Structure 1
Amino acid sequence: MSVRLPSVRHPHSFYDVFGVVAAAVAIMALVLAVRYGSIVRLETAVFMTVVFLWAGWATERILGESKERATRHQQRNRPWK
């Protein structure tokens, strides 16, 4: 069984999205545990905003690809052909 790392540029599944978001939350928790200041909190807020915007984009891309695959599969398997 092969395991691949989550893809940031071309997410294929919701596990990619979950993996990236979970890693970002863990990194931010570690940063906030070590350093805590107003600038660090601002950077954390900006970084997490970017991560959640990426998660929305990735989810939209995955659903779009899934819809295209379903349409192609449906056109290939027409019962009257």
Structure 2
Amino acid sequence: MKTALIALTTATVMGTMTASAAVADLDSDGDGVVSFTEMLAVYPTMTEEGFAAVDTNGDGVVDEEELTAATEGGLIPEA
């Protein structure tokens, strides 16, 4: 039981660090979020419709939470 809890905690922390690293890798202007232009620079086949599907709150940018959900949901490849 204790081992499972440690594994779950580690996976959660690693997932958060991975999302942060992914945003940092995509975020060329350093504002902490990813715009369509920044996403397009790394994923040239990304469409505006695809970006809108990733940007679940519709604010025009993708944050860590949205990027994690999109990656886990298969909307974009893992970084």
Larger radius of gyration: 1
TM-score, normalized by length of structure 2? 0.36
Which structure features the higher share of helix residues? Answer: 1
